[in-house]
Amino acid sequence: MNLALLLAGAAALLSLIAYGRDMLGLYRARKRRALELNTRMSLVALASLVAVAILGAVFLTTGSLQSHVGALAFLVAFGWLTGLVLANLYKIVPFLTWLETYGPVMGRVPTPRVQDLVDERRALKWFVLFFAGSWAATLMLLVDEAPGFRVAVAVVTLATLGLGEELIRARRLADVSEPLRLPTGAVVPHLLVSRN
């Protein structure tokens, strides 16, 4: 076994443990007890990163890392990074939409909460499909099952499109109840470009 690779793996594992400890501290210190969907899904994405570290350590010690590096790279790219980006976009897009639409009239008329721009129950289904698909695709790569991998990637693609639709709905204020949707002075934002 290559000593440099072993040391790099140990350093990566220690970094992951330190990162996890910091994240745990942030979650314990939070003011809001109930976690919003974007935070819960960020935790699921972080679980994918932990799985990469564990699997990487196992493959490294068994000498099979080279034959499984593609599966680990897929899980890093989709299970962790893409999952984390989608989870954060699910909070960022509604927040920026809220600022753009209701910021100018805040304090003068009743406005919805940021959470009112999304439907967490509906979006949860897409997140579950996304993460299940990315984990299944990783498993298919590990067992070298190309048709199963294609099906799992199709599930990931479908879930990503579903989450994209949720973000469009937030930009279109589709889930905001009618009395609060467009108070006097508020304007529906452009789909892709901010008015500000």
pLDDT the model gives residue 1: 56
The rounded Cα 48 to chain-centroid distance in angstroms is 11
Q: What is the spatial distance between Cα 153 and Cα 157, in angstroms, rounded to a whole number?
A: 6
Residue 125's contacts (CB-CB under 8 Å, 6 or more residues apart) are: 162
Mean pLDDT of 160-187: 92
> Could you read off the pLDDT of 78-134 as tens digits, one per residue?
999 999 999 999 999 999 999 999 988 988 999 999 999 999 999 999 999 999 999
pLDDT the model gives residue 131: 98
> Could you read off the pLDDT of 1-21 as tens digits, one per residue?
578 877 887 888 888 788 878
Residue recorded with tokens 């997140």: 127
pTM, full prediction: 0.85
pLDDT the model gives residue 186: 84
- Please choose, from the candidates 153, 155, 165, the residue with its C-alpha nearest in 3D space to the C-alpha of residue 77: 153
Q: Is 106 helix (H, G, I), strand (E, B) or coil?
A: strand
Q: What is the spatial distance between Cα 2 and Cα 177, in angstroms, rounded to a whole number?
A: 61
Q: Which of 23-27, 54-58, 78-82 holds the top average pLDDT?
A: 78-82
pLDDT the model gives residue 194: 75
Amino acid code (one letter) for 145: E
Instruction: Give me the percent of the chain exceeding a pLDDT of 70.
Output: 98
Across the chain, mean pLDDT equals 91
Q: Which of 30-39, 102-111, 115-124, 184-193 holds the top average pLDDT?
A: 115-124
pLDDT the model gives residue 196: 64
Token code pair at residue 179: 């009395």
Mean pLDDT of 136-160: 97
Radius of gyration over alpha carbons of the chain, in Å?
20
Q: Is 109 helix (H, G, I), strand (E, B) or coil?
A: strand
Main-chain phi, psi angles of 109, to 5 degrees = -140, 160
- Name which residue leads in pLDDT, 114 or 25: 114
**Are 95 and 114 a contacting pair, CB within 8 Å?**
yes
Amino acid code (one letter) for 92: I
Token code pair at residue 57: 């350590």
